[in-house]
Chain A
Amino acid sequence: MTRIRFAFMSCALGGLAAIAPLAAQQAPARFGIGRPASPAEIAALDIDVMPDGRGLPAGKGTSAEGQALYATKCAQCHGATGKEGPNDVLVGRDPRGTFPFSQDPKLPHTIGNYWPYATTVFDYVRRAMPPTAPGSLTDDEVYALTAFLLHANDLIPADAVMDKASLPKVAMPARQFFTPDTRKQLATKPQR
């Protein structure tokens, strides 16, 4: 824009040499657009939990506490014991323990059978469940519901307390079966 206007001005001044365009502007290292985010602004949105437990809040809960919450807030969609649906089946361990999902179309992808990380249960329930009131559960309630779902899947004992120290340590049997994408990496990067 500036370049063109400049060219016009030169013409108006009678300069014939101005027909050749000037070199395009180089992008600066930074544009200086946007504003710094304050720690409070970050904390208000930063709700994710990582597999090593980073991001888990204070608080705790047990399976017994979670059971009562589950009955009132979750069972209508996920079934009385988490196995019945109508929405996603959450509970169930396949006795074979061999991850035979590819051969068995009926085997439900439960937390016990399929989920590779226990922290994901906390992260997902806190952000998205129940769908009728997402984000409405307290951190203690989410810990309790997580404990209930992990215990129902035979992943932790009945009296285990779930908190930011214990949850990342829960062993998930399915984790060993996940592999990264081994498709051939592209020799030549697609042109954009």
Chain B
Amino acid sequence: MKVTRRSLLAGAAGAVALGSTTQAQTAADPSKVRGKPSRAVGQRAAPEKVQRILRSGAASSTPHQDLMGIITPSDLHFERHHGGVPEIDPTTHSVLIHGMVERPMIFTLAELKRFPSHSQIYFLECSGNLGRTAGPDTTPGMLAGLTSTSEWTGVRLATLLKEVGVKPGAKWLLAEGTDAAVLTRSIPIEKAQDDALIAYGQNGEALRPEQGYPTRLFLPGWEGNASVKWLRRIEVADQPFMTREETSKYTEPFANNTARMFSFRMDARSLITAPAFPKTIEKGWVEIQGIAWTGAGRIRRVDVSTDGGRTWTAANLQEPVLPLAHTRFRHLWNWTGGEAVIMSRAVDETGYVQPTKDALLKLRGPGTATYHLNPITGWVVQADGKVVYKEEAWG
């Protein structure tokens, strides 16, 4: 950002005589120029141009190639919506819970915040998080950027269900958003009474509009679509509602000519985020790193291969390894030149091993929907150091 006369005047006033409107973007020696005054809302350093990858008006991806650690900055959390991002007045917004309950009730946002709160770091992944037709010029974010990790805060849905009193025989509930898609999903009551949240916070502040401001359902470890955003209503019932999103969409054809429905859990997956396209690396020590996650709990191990999957070595996992959250892995590699294929493979605490593309293809068939595809993927380090995505043919 340019230092202008006005910003200097607005700043430390007359004491600063150094400024000129022609000054370069960054001072040659910052220690010789008085810096900027404090401000109410911070911003990224001017040279940092990190941004989401826009896929359409209805989705954008987290640029994992640009990120570190396990937390996704809120403004880079992926988004997917079916009726645009609504603008909701938090002072009039409320959540209705009714159906098979003793006391149908309405909770305003302010009332939801009066209940005991729970905060936890969780990943959230769209079930359609794989670019199957990705070419060599694909970044990690383009390939699998529909997963992000935040600290979510809210009230446990179980607490609210106690407040309204669930009637015997209740097995499912419907969650409904107040966006233009009025999106609905059916949720098993067991999840609702376990770790489901009605979330209103993300990374220490209110939810972002794209993530459901002011209230969303949050179902740890489950496909993102079921964590209904802009939540306005929950109806308790004895059977699933068979909404469009859980029949026509978010169901997966299998090779035996069936389709799986209500496949909520996201299975273990890993993604190398560096080095990856569009990077070019130098010979010598390279830190291979990436993220791994599983809807089954904790990541137990991430194996890295630098020879196209012939041999594997366990990577270092960033501690603490949190359940149902991205886990960062790091692996030191001495690249001596020549083409190499680097890959990663996650193993979770249940012993589940991230599958190969061929194993998935055999089970699911070439025509299957893109939901719940978590194959091992890799990157080709070319002899000149340029890194490109290792293309996969899905038939």
Is B one of A's binding partners? Answer: yes
> Which A residues contact B (CB, under 8 angstroms)?
27, 29-31, 33-37, 41-42, 45-52, 98-107, 109, 111, 114-117, 119-120, 123-124, 127-128, 131, 134-135, 177-184, 186-192
In the complex, the answer to whether A102 meets B368 with C-beta atoms within 8 Å is yes
How many A-B contacts at CB < 8 Å in the complex? 186
Interface positions of B from 79 to 101, Cβ below 8 Å from A: 82-83, 96-98
Interface positions of B from 319 to 345, Cβ below 8 Å from A: 323-324
Q: Which of the residues B82, B96, B262, B395 comes within 8 Å of A37, measured between beta carbons?
A: B96
Given contacts A50-B242, A99-B258, A116-B242, 20 further A-B contacts (CB under 8 A): A27-B159, A45-B176, A100-B257, A101-B259, A101-B365, A102-B253, A103-B257, A109-B248, A115-B247, A115-B248, A117-B242, A117-B247, A120-B244, A124-B244, A128-B83, A177-B257, A178-B261, A183-B263, A191-B297, A192-B324
Closest to A29 in B: B162
Question: Once the chains are docked, how many angstroms separate the CA of A33 from the CA of B83?
Answer: 32
Question: Once the chains are docked, how many angstroms separate the CA of A183 from the CA of B296?
Answer: 12
Q: Which of the residues B97, B120, B257 comes within 8 Å of A192, measured between beta carbons?
A: B120
Cβ of B20 within 8 Å of any chain A Cβ, yes or no, is: no
Cβ of B206 within 8 Å of any chain A Cβ, yes or no, is: no
Report chain A residues within 8 Å CB of B120: 192
Cβ of B285 within 8 Å of any chain A Cβ, yes or no, is: no
Question: Once the chains are docked, how many angstroms separate the CA of A191 from the CA of B395?
Answer: 38
The 4 closest A-B pairs by CB, nearest first: A102-B365, A190-B297, A101-B253, A124-B244
In the complex, the answer to whether B114 meets A31 with C-beta atoms within 8 Å is yes
In the complex, the answer to whether A120 meets B262 with C-beta atoms within 8 Å is no
Report chain A residues within 8 Å CB of B213: none
In the complex, the answer to whether B182 meets A127 with C-beta atoms within 8 Å is yes
Q: A98-B257, A103-B255 are in contact. Are A127 and B107 (CB under 8 A)?
A: no
> Could you name 17 residue pairs across A and B whose Cβ atoms are closer than 8 Å?
A29-B162, A31-B114, A47-B182, A48-B235, A99-B253, A101-B253, A102-B257, A102-B366, A103-B367, A119-B242, A120-B248, A123-B184, A177-B258, A177-B259, A179-B259, A180-B261, A190-B297
Cβ of B64 within 8 Å of any chain A Cβ, yes or no, is: no
Cβ of B237 within 8 Å of any chain A Cβ, yes or no, is: yes
In the complex, the answer to whether A181 meets B98 with C-beta atoms within 8 Å is no
Cβ of B254 within 8 Å of any chain A Cβ, yes or no, is: yes
Closest to A180 in B: B262
Contact with A along B343-356 (1 / 0, CB 8 A): 00000011000000
In the complex, the answer to whether B367 meets A104 with C-beta atoms within 8 Å is yes
Report chain A residues within 8 Å CB of B181: 127-128, 134
Closest to B110 in A: A33
Between A49, A182, A191, A192, the greatest number of chain B beta carbons within 10 A of the residue's beta carbon is seen for A192
Interface residue count on the B side (C-beta < 8 Å): 69
A17 to chain B, nearest CB (A): 29
In the complex, the answer to whether A178 meets B251 with C-beta atoms within 8 Å is yes
B181 to chain A, nearest CB (A): 5
In the complex, the answer to whether A34 meets B261 with C-beta atoms within 8 Å is no
Report chain B residues within 8 Å CB of A41: 96, 106
Question: Once the chains are docked, how many angstroms separate the CA of A104 from the CA of B368?
Answer: 8
Q: Which of the residues B114, B184, B261 comes within 8 Å of A181, measured between beta carbons?
A: B261
Report chain A residues within 8 Å CB of B200: none
Question: Once the chains are docked, how many angstroms separate the CA of A120 from the CA of B195?
Answer: 29
Q: Which of the residues B114, B247, B257 comes within 8 Å of A116, measured between beta carbons?
A: B247
Contact with A along B161-188 (1 / 0, CB 8 A): 0110000000000101000111010000
Question: Once the chains are docked, how many angstroms separate the CA of A51 from the CA of B261?
Answer: 15
In the complex, the answer to whether B257 meets A131 with C-beta atoms within 8 Å is no
Interface positions of B from 104 to 125, Cβ below 8 Å from A: 104-108, 111, 114-116, 120
Question: Once the chains are docked, how many angstroms separate the CA of A179 from the CA of B367?
Answer: 17
Q: A102-B253, A181-B262, A186-B350 are in contact. Are A36 and B248 (CB under 8 A)?
A: no
Closest to B118 in A: A192
